[in-house]
Amino acid sequence: MDLGVPIGSLRLKNPLIAASGCFGYGVEYAETVDLSALGAIVVKGLFLNEREGHPPPRIIETPSGMLNAIGLQGIGVHRFIREKLPELCERRAVTIVNVCGSTLEEYVEVSRILSDAEGVAALELNISCPNIKEGGIQFGCSLTGTHAVVSAVRKVTRLPVIPKLTPNVTDVASFARAAEEAGADAVSLVNTFLAMAIDIETRRPKLSNVMGGLSGPAIRPIAVRMVHECHQATRLPIIGMGGIARAEDALEFAIAGATAVQVGTANFVDPFIWPKLQHGIEDYLTRHGLTRWMDLIGTMDTRKTS
């Protein structure tokens, strides 16, 4: 059974990736999960400097999902390289770093620093976080902004560049095309949906930041649709995510066109989910007479049913 996945110059041993913001810096799970058995991990978004994030409450559960407004609390790129990356290397984790920036220059600077560090496998560009005021989603909601960030980072790194797209746009496929034209190696989607919830007794928003990002099974069908649209529109590998909680969900994304998948919210519910997902995928491939994961990608049958 070959579960291998090529993402640009990178080859993952399987398509299962821990989603950024849902797996800390990876080291938090080192005792629980064999990090080297995952296709990759995407660590929490990093700016140049440390960030404090939003005050609590930072999450609230909603029907089949959750809202979060963490505000990208983080230790900054330098402390990450010093304090976390060595352990990730030692544990042979394939480490993708989620790169944040308030300005174009910051994306470039953080990417340059990470490209010089030992042990970073790829850069995921966070142009889609809905919870910060400056940068981020501002780039991800404009085609020119997306193109500008991707092409600027492309110039300073040989690592695979993977912009993470926001679903909070009218036509996500056009953003995948903009990323492709700017030299991206893949795209990942979707980040969370901008959303909110109100306590009707107090009439106060349930999150301190008022608005947050919706994730979990609630968003899955929309995410599958968006992966399908991007698959139609570009030749780039697509890393699909949005409410994946079972092997069946990962397989659905693959059939829609995702080369690999990320799992976020479901990891909160079950940190031991990874081998379960992998076994479920292997069982499915066996049952369908497939020996390679890649043979499943984008195989949705669109013929009219009689």
Partner 1 sequence: MPVDVDAAVGANTRLSRDYNVLALEAPAIAAIARPGQFVMLKPAHGTDPLLRRPFSIFEILRDPHGAPAGISILNKKVGVGTSLLYDAEPGRRVACLGPLGRPFTVKDPPVEAWMVAGGVGLAPFATLAAALARRGAKTTLFYGARRAQDLFFTDLFERVGVALVLSTEDGSRGHHGLISDPLGSALASRAADAPLAIYACGPTGMMRAVASLAGRHGRRAEVSLEQVMGCGMGGCYSCVVKVRRGSDVPHFVRSCIEGPVFDAAEIVWDELTH
In terms of Cα–Cα distance, which of 224, 206, 249, 241 is closest to 68?
206
Q: Which is nearer to partner 1, 154 or 268 (CB)?
A: 268
Contacts of 188 (CB under 8 A, 6+ apart): 124, 162, 163, 164, 165, 238, 239, 240, 241, 262
- The reply to whether 129 belongs to the active site is yes
CB of 265 to partner 1, least distance (A): 7
From 21, 136, 160, 167, residue interacting with partner 1 (rule: CB under 8 A):
21
CB of 44 to partner 1, least distance (A): 7
Does position 267 interact with partner 1 (CB under 8 A)? The reply is yes
Lay out the site mask for partner 1 across 271-300 (x = CB under 8 A, - = otherwise): xx----------------------------
Q: Which is nearer to partner 1, 65 or 160 (CB)?
A: 65
The CA-atom distances, in angstroms, between 83 and each of 25, 76, 119 are 10, 11, 13
From 15, 101, 167, 216, residue interacting with partner 1 (rule: CB under 8 A):
216
Contacts of 22 (CB under 8 A, 6+ apart): 263, 264, 265, 267, 268
Segment contacting partner 1 by CB under 8 A, of 47-55, 148-156, 172-180, 287-295: 47-55
Q: Are 225 and 233 in contact (CB under 8 A)?
A: no
Does position 32 interact with partner 1 (CB under 8 A)? The reply is yes
What is the amino acid identity at position 74? G
Give me the residues paired with residue 41 across strands.
18, 95
Cα(35)–Cα(40) distance, integer angstroms: 8
User: Which residue numbers are catalytic?
Assistant: 129
Footprint of partner 1 (CB under 8 A): 21-24, 28-29, 31-32, 44, 52-53, 55-61, 63-66, 68, 70, 73, 208, 216-218, 245, 265, 267-272
